């Protein structure tokens, strides 16, 4: 029965895999954000550029003023230092100016913060992520719950898992079991931990929250592009903190529903069928590779 289910699932995946997938991941010498895959991350990118219009001029102004003071008021050129105690105009400028700048930064930052905690619609999928030293337990809180563990993929297990392509499944980021969610669907993530503090972070989605034992933090995302996305635990949690990746595969609704049905009875077979469909499609590519 499992073989029949897995085979049917693979066929359904292949039929639905004509659309090119998108994915992003860290790259060597990367200094900008990963490409946005959610509306929230697009807002974060916009806010970063917006703040640079303030940061760069202020930094240059301070640099010019420092250079001016160093040159003009050096001991050799100014043997008798000024005894000026105050200047009303300057004091007004350096009081009012920062207030205006802070207001200009505060308004969009509060708008972004509000958007991060208020999804535009009720979540269709609730996923519980529990951090352990040093892996993740995931539970799909659906009508027929599905639970599994996700840990870093060991180099010796690549061939058996069918994940030998390090462009798609990079070292230190690839996992044995990815989280699978449908595209353009609001997903609620309940984040907690079983031992010490961890952090659930997915850069391309613009989400990051602590996983605290005995407490549940709630985040959400709505991925607009199909593909395989990588994140990591972002809270120092012990000796293997660097080996605790997060992988989320975004697929079509049909692929997700078929995978979920098959995964309840055969998770490994369902994952391989999904990989066969996605990785086997000639149009699938990883951004930047």
Q: Is residue 285 part of a domain?
A: no
Q: Is residue 288 part of a domain?
A: no
pLDDT in tens, 140-160: 998 888 999 999 999 999 999
Cα–Cα distance for residue pair 42/36, rounded to 1 Å: 6
Q: Could you tell me if 217 and 263 lie in one domain? A: yes
Q: Is residue 286 part of a domain?
A: no
Task: Taking residues 245-255, report their average pLDDT.
Answer: 95
Q: Is residue 289 part of a domain?
A: no
What total of structural domains would you count in the chain? 2
pLDDT at 14: 38
- CATH number, residue 25: 2.60.40.420
Q: Could you tell me if 17 and 87 lie in one domain? A: no
User: Tokens 């040093």 appear where?
Assistant: 134
Beta strand ranges found along the chain (DSSP E)? 125-132, 135-140, 146-150, 179-182, 187-193, 198-202, 207-211, 217-221, 227-233, 245-251
Domain final position from 96, 117, 138: 117
Q: Could you tell me if 188 and 151 lie in one domain? A: yes
SS3 letters across the chain = CHHHHHHHHHHHHHHCCCCCCCCCCCCCCCCCCCCCCCHHHHHHHHHHHHHHHHHHHHHHHHHHHHHHHHHHCCCCCCCCCCCCCCCHHHHHHHHHHHHHHHHHHHHHHHHHHHHHHCCCCCCCEEEEEEEECCEEEEEECCCCCEEEEECECCHHHHHHHCCCCCCCCCCCCCECCCEEEECCCCEEEEEEECCCCEEEEEHHHCEEEEECECCCEEEEECCCCCEEEEEEECCCCCCCHHHCEEEEEEECHHHHHHHHHHHCCCHHHHHHHHHHHHHHCCCCCCCCC
Q: Could you tell me if 140 and 214 lie in one domain? A: yes
Q: Could you tell me if 168 and 197 lie in one domain? A: yes
Q: Could you tell me if 32 and 43 lie in one domain? A: no
Structural contact between residues 253 and 183, judged by C-beta atoms closer than 8 angstroms: yes
Please state the pTM of the whole predicted model. 0.81
Q: Residue 95 is encoded by which pair of tokens?
A: 């009081």
Domain final position from 117, 141, 156: 117
pLDDT in tens, 109-140: 999 999 999 999 999 999 999 999 999 999 99
Q: Is residue 287 part of a domain?
A: no
User: Tokens 């997700």 appear where?
Assistant: 256
Edge-to-edge strand list for the sheet holding 207-211: 179-182, 245-251, 227-233, 198-202, 207-211
pLDDT confidence bin for 21, thresholds 50/70/90: low
Q: Could you tell me if 64 and 204 lie in one domain? A: no
Q: Could you tell me if 16 and 153 lie in one domain? A: yes
Q: Is residue 138 part of a domain?
A: yes
Classify residue 32 by burial, with Cβ atoms within 10 Å: 0-12, 13-18, 19+: exposed
pLDDT at 144: 87
Q: Could you tell me if 20 and 145 lie in one domain? A: yes
Domain that holds residue 233: 2-37+122-280
Q: Could you tell me if 237 and 130 lie in one domain? A: yes
pLDDT in tens, 169-192: 999 999 999 999 999 999 999 999
Q: Could you tell me if 180 and 213 lie in one domain? A: yes
Q: Is residue 184 part of a domain?
A: yes
Q: Could you tell me if 133 and 106 lie in one domain? A: no
pLDDT at 22: 53
Q: Is residue 196 part of a domain?
A: yes
pLDDT in tens, 9-18: 444 443 344 3
pLDDT at 7: 44
Structural contact between residues 224 and 37, judged by C-beta atoms closer than 8 angstroms: yes
- CATH number, residue 113: 1.10.287.90
User: Tokens 């499944």 appear where?
Assistant: 169
Q: Select from 113, 132, 146, 114 the least CA-distant residue to 211.
A: 132
3-state helix, strand, coil in the chain (%, to 5): 40, 20, 40
Domain final position from 117, 147, 174: 117
């Amino acid at each position: 029965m499992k073989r029949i289910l897995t085979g049917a699932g693979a066929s359904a995946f292949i039929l639905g895999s004509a659309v090119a997938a998108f994915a992003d991941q860290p790259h060597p010498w990367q200094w900008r954000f990963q490409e946005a895959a959610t509306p929230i991350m697009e807002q974060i990118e916009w806010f970063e550029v917006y703040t640079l219009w303030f940061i760069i001029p202020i930094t240059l102004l301070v640099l010019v003023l420092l250079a001016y003071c160093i040159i003009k008021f050096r001991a050799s050129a100014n043997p008798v230092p000024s005894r000026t105690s105050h200047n009303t105009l300057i004091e007004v400028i350096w009081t009012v100016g920062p207030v205006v700048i802070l207001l200009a930064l505060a308004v969009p930052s509060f708008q972004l913060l509000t958007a991060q905690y208020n999804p535009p619609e009720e979540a269709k999928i609730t996923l519980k992520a529990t951090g352990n030293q040093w892996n993740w337990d995931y539970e799909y809180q659906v009508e027929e719950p599905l639970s599994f563990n996700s840990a870093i993929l060991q180099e010796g297990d690549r061939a058996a898992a069918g994940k030998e392509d390090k462009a798609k499944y990079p070292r230190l980021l690839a996992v044995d079991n990815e989280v699978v969610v449908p595209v353009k669907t609001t997903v609620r993530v309940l984040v907690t931990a079983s031992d010490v503090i961890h952090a659930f972070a997915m850069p391309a989605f613009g989400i990051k929250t602590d996983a605290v034992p005995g407490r549940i933090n709630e985040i959400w995302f709505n991925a607009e592009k199909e593909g395989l996305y990588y994140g990591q635990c972002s809270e120092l949690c012990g000796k293997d903190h660097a080996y605790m990746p997060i992988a989320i595969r975004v697929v079509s609704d049909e692929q997700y529903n078929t995978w979920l049905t098959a995964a309840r009875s055969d998770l490994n077979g369902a994952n391989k069928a999904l990989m066969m469909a996605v990785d086997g499609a000639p149009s699938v590519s990883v951004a930047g590779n």
